[in-house]
Amino acid sequence: MIIEPARRTLSVKEYYFSLKNKEIAGLNASRPADDPIINLGIGSPDGSPSPEAVEALCACARRRGVHGYQSYTGIPALREAMADWYARWYGVQLDPASEIQPLMGSKEGILLLSLAFLNPGDRVLVPNPGYPTYTSATRMCEAEPVFYDLVEADGWYPSFEQLESLDLTGVKLMWVNYPNMPTGAPARREVFEKLVDFARRHRILLVNDNPYSFVLNQPLSILSIPGAREVCLEMNSLSKSHNMAGWRVGMLVGAADVIKELLKVKSQMDSGMFRGIQEAAVAALSAGPEWYEALNAEYRRRRDVACRIMDALGCTYDPSAGGLYVWGRCPGSPEGNTPSVAEKKADAPLGVSAFGPAAAWSDRILYGAGVFLTPGFVFGSNGANYLRISLCADVPTLEKALRKIKQL
């Protein structure tokens, strides 16, 4: 390399699923073409968006004058559709002109918020286990993640006694994610109320990452809590709820002054979302309850088979958990950390023996049965004893995976 990379890149590694997909591609190269690895890892919905959304995209793409740069804040119709969606399903009233910022997926929003509000040395509360991007975005901004525990005994909700005992000096942001990934814990109003109170008393900007509220869950927004507008933002997405993960449509909603700061950064980073995708999102967001009922009926069928896979492995799990995954504790594993993992940071780099039993189980299943299940250490040390099964494969594929695992 002719020059040295920026120091910030030393704090992060290539995304786990990017690395794993390369490994799986290598294995597939030596397998029969009719027997590829069954990948039950990442949560990328395999269904299609609504016919109305697809037609809106195609119709727009055929028009003249729509292929240039678009507004950084999205077309008014998209912001109005997002506001209407929040009013209808969450009971939250938003000003479409100032309290909604369309995003190219909520993952973008994590980095943009971090860039907008974090200085080197600032601190951020990050859940363990939790979405790895919360940590990587924090570190790329040269801020410090402060991990708070989520454990099975507490239903995968924060311990407010632990939160109050932490050194909160310099903490500016707190990431929460309910309904939760990877554990499937649902959003609960009483937990949101405690989180809002905690953030107000400690003057912390609290961000709820909320892409799973329509998948085997009841929609609930943290902004529906009294007083939340003063201290909370919420990110949402059409990726899971409308089968549009590759279309990259998300949103950040909350106080206008905070949205304005994020726009300063976003307007330097891109030149707007293609208008056809915006018009398709408007069509998708207008879907009635029948869309979500059909979506969830399919995911229930898939969850039933995923639970049978957990049974075959001898894992313990919550069969009613929501979201796109089933999360199970490996046989013989104690609840929470193993000592070898507890000594490591929550975002410890990829390894084998030091990362708890789930890593060994995942490798055994991958190489022995040709099925990939995500080991929980990816999400933090508190996930080291757990495996995650994605529901983003159809029932026949899941049943094939079950047969292969039973044979192993």
Q: Lowest-pLDDT range, 68-82, 205-219, 235-249, 337-351?
A: 337-351
Residue 13 reports pLDDT greater than 90: no
Q: Which amino acid is at 218?
A: Q
pLDDT for the residue numbered 386: 97
pLDDT at 14: 80
d(CA 1, CA 17): 25
352 near 376, Cβ under 8 Å?
no
Three-state SS for 286? coil
pLDDT at residue 337 tops 70: no
Confidence band of 347 (pLDDT split at 50, 70, 90): very low
Handedness of CA 331, 45, 214, 78 (dihedral sign): positive
pLDDT reported for residue 21? 86
Nearest to 53 by CA among 392, 287, 293: 287
pLDDT at 134 over 80: yes
In this prediction, residue 42 carries a pLDDT of 85
In the prediction, which pLDDT does 332 show?
77
The amino acid at residue 199 is A
Per the listing, tokens 């933090």 go with 380
pLDDT of residue 341: 37
pLDDT value for 342: 34
What does the block give as tokens for 138?
Answer: 């924090």
Query: Which of 232-260 are b and which e, b meaning 16 or more Cβ less than 10 Å from the residue's Cβ?
Result: bbbbbbbbbbbbbbebbbbbbbbbeebbe
- The neighbouring-strand residues paired with 148 are 127
Average pLDDT of the chain to the nearest whole number: 92
Q: How confident is the model at residue 280 (pLDDT cuts 50, 70, 90)?
A: very high
Please state which of the ranges 167-181, 201-215, 346-360 shows the lowest mean pLDDT: 346-360
Locate the domains of the chain by residue range: 7-47+290-407, 51-285
Burial class (CB in 10 A: 0-12, 13-18, 19+), 113: buried
Mean pLDDT of 59-66: 95
Q: Report which residue type is found at 207.
A: V
Q: 15-21: which pairs have CB atoms within 8 A and are 24 or more residues apart?
A: 15/132, 15/136, 16/132, 16/350, 16/378, 17/41, 17/42, 19/350, 20/372
Q: Can you list the positions of beta strands (E) in 99-257?
A: 100-103, 123-128, 144-149, 171-176, 205-209, 232-237, 250-254
How many DSSP H helices and E strands does the chain contain? 13, 12
pLDDT class of 2 with cuts at 50, 70, 90: confident
> Can you spell out the DSSP letters for 225-277?
STTGGGTEEEEEESTTTTT-GGG--EEEEE-HHHHHHHHHHHHHH-----HHH
DSSP string, 38-91: EEE-S----SPPPHHHHHHHHHHHTSTT-SS---TT--HHHHHHHHHHHHHHH-
Question: Strand pairing of 250-254 and 325-329?
Answer: unpaired
Longest dimension (CA), the chain: 62
Class of domain 7-47+290-407: alpha beta
Name the pLDDT band for 12 (thresholds 50, 70, 90): confident
Over residues 384-392, mean pLDDT: 96
Indicate the DSSP class of residue 137.
H
Predicted confidence band of residue 335 (pLDDT cuts 50, 70, 90): low
- Per CATH, the number for 51-285 is 3.40.640.10
pLDDT band at 397; cut points 50, 70, 90 = very high
According to DSSP, the β-strands at 386-390 and 325-329 are: antiparallel
Q: What is the pLDDT of residue 376?
A: 95
DSSP annotation of 335 reads S
* Rounded percentage of the chain residues whose pLDDT exceeds 70: 95
Q: Say if residue 18's pLDDT is above 60.
A: yes
CB 128 within 8 A of CB 158: no
pTM comes to 0.91
| Mean pLDDT (whole number) for 178-203 | 97
Q: Please state the rounded mean pLDDT for residues 360-376.
A: 94
Question: Whats the size of the chain, residue-wise?
Answer: 408
